[in-house]
Amino acid sequence: MSVETASPAGPPPAAAALVLEAPPSPAGPAPDDGRELALPPAIPLPRLVQTLRISVRQVQFVFRARRLYGETFRFRSLINTGETIVTSHPDHVKSLFTAKPEQAPSLTGESPLRPIVGPNSVLTLVGPQHLRQRRLLLPPFHGEAVERYAAMIAEAADREIDRWPTGEPFALAPRMQAITLDVIMAGIFGIEGEPADGTPERGLRDTIRWAIELSTRPLSQLFELINVGRTEAVGPLRRLLARLDRHLYAVIAARRASRGDGGRTDILSLLLEARDEDGTPMTDEELRDELLTLVLAGHETTANSLAWTFERLLRTPAAYDRMRDLVRSEDGGSAADAWIEATIHETMRSRPVIPIIGRRVKLPWQLGDFRVPAESSVLVSILLLHHRADVYPDPFAFRPERFLGVKPGTYTWVPFGGGIRRCLGAALAMAEQRVVLGAIARRTDLVAPDPAPERARHRNVTMIPALGARVVMTGRRGA
């Protein structure tokens, strides 16, 4: 079975709970009680084959492994040293998310993002340096702080919807990216709307768009693969980053030069004012890594999650019709809000844009009936966890109603990860999805040019709709 074979949503079974709990499975630092616990079962394929499969065909790889070996299995990867274990049990996930940071640090510093965003970002740092950066960045990403972006997000969405062609197929993902890129640029650099022509911010935005467009071409996966396991980029990726860096450093230099203009509340201004314990400001290199992280982490994920939402909705007519009826009705109000929220939760369950995350356990760890040695990489397959039939009955069906009046579980719904590494931009991503989804459902009528579900494709650490969620707009209303 694969995620692409999702069945269309039928009516929910009457009175049956649509979100359940998994049976308990003990997990955490392994007790030293002399009990012999085995290693999880291993997939008997060469290291290179396994690395290629998890990088390029992760969906098929993990679903097949779960079917053959169970919810916890081991594989060999060129990326991680030591044992690499994949788990999808909520109790195992909880043990990793609630562990002390030094017991189970994040693996993002060793992920394919490392050669791109560098070593100095909140994403790739570990230990006290990570916590320091995270504390610094939390306030502007707090729920209340992002609420003030709602009007700006709505304007960006309306501007974009006005440009869409009627009656011809187009991919939604790049259109969503145009919105989310403007939103994140506004938050980070304090620009309202599109950056003006000739400004360093415009150069940066255009280069990012170009880079993202390049990364959709077939050869780009090869360039990604030759960077797997590296700390510094090589080949075409290196040249692309050099071009991005020129713009990023130009933005930083321009802003340093204009410091003292006063009153700015954007994230770059905040970072420029930050000092560590001995009063040292961030270097240009540190700023570059942090800014690139926020721009990249902050727009591609949200854009593709929105694209997946429509890929799913257009193949689940009952859910799409209900959405349009509610958001267009005079008295839709809170029912419309609840349906939008439930739809976002269901999309992020069934199509988590980041399908796998990891921690390195620094001491022997128990995972149910198994024990893994210190220094193992333990990966949480968000995709497998979100497709557990004992938690989500009929897991391949797209059913927003699962989440109506139901708060997603902290360890069973983890599209934003968890613990002290939980996504910093979760509140912003949710706000963007709410506003953009509502605007598109209210203003447009979309159909899928092909009724077959779009397959998942893997780009770096993300899982995206293979064709960018193609749609045809059959009608548009005014803003």
Binding pattern for the stretch 113-152 against ligand HEM, x by CB under 6 A and - elsewhere:
---------xx----------x------------------
Q: What are phi and psi of 395, to 5 degrees?
A: -65, -20
Question: Which one among 59, 186, 357, 397 touches ligand HEM, defined by CB under 6 A?
Answer: 357
Instruction: Find, among 271, 281, 209, the residue nearest to 240 by Cα.
Output: 209
Instruction: Find, among 36, 94, 90, the residue nearest to 364 by Cα.
Output: 36
Applying CB under 6 A, which part among 234-242, 276-284, 290-298, 320-328 lies near ligand HEM? 290-298
Binding pattern for the stretch 361-400 against ligand HEM, x by CB under 6 A and - elsewhere:
----------------------------------------
Rounded CA separation 467/309 (Å): 14
Neighbouring residues of 369: CB distance < 8 A, sequence distance ≥ 6: 37, 38
353 binds ligand HEM (CB under 6 A): yes
Kindly state the helix (H) or strand (E) to which residue 188 belongs, with its residue range.
helix 172-189
Q: What single-letter amino acid sits at 440?
A: I
Instruction: Find, among 8, 37, 3, 4, the residue nearest to 313 by Cα.
Output: 8
354 binds ligand HEM (CB under 6 A): yes
103 binds ligand HEM (CB under 6 A): no
Q: For ligand HEM, give the closer residue by CB, 173 or 423.
A: 423
Question: Looking at 60-114, which runs of residues are DSSP E strands?
Answer: 72-75, 84-87
Residues in the chain: 479
307 binds ligand HEM (CB under 6 A): no
Cβ of residue 12: shortest distance to ligand HEM, in angstroms?
A: 25
CA distances from 391 to 25, 156, 356, 404 (A): 14, 37, 18, 16
Q: Is there a contact between 461 and 113 (Cβ–Cβ < 8 Å)?
A: yes
Cβ of residue 182: shortest distance to ligand HEM, in angstroms?
A: 13
Rounded CA separation 187/253 (Å): 18
Cβ of residue 294: shortest distance to ligand HEM, in angstroms?
A: 4
292 binds ligand HEM (CB under 6 A): no
Q: For ligand HEM, give the closer residue by CB, 195 or 332.
A: 195
Q: For ligand HEM, give the closer residue by CB, 43 or 294.
A: 294
| Structural tokens at position 277 | 């314990």
112 binds ligand HEM (CB under 6 A): no
Cβ of residue 429: shortest distance to ligand HEM, in angstroms?
A: 4
411 binds ligand HEM (CB under 6 A): no
Q: Is there a contact between 288 and 118 (Cβ–Cβ < 8 Å)?
A: yes
Specify the DSSP class assigned to residue 403.
Answer: G
418 binds ligand HEM (CB under 6 A): yes
Question: Which one among 99, 136, 429, 431 touches ligand HEM, defined by CB under 6 A?
Answer: 429
Rounded CA separation 197/102 (Å): 46
Applying CB under 6 A, which part among 158-166, 212-220, 327-335, 411-419 lies near ligand HEM? 411-419
- Site residues (vs ligand HEM, CB under 6 A): 106, 122-123, 134, 293-294, 297-298, 301-302, 305, 353-354, 357, 415-418, 421-425, 428-429
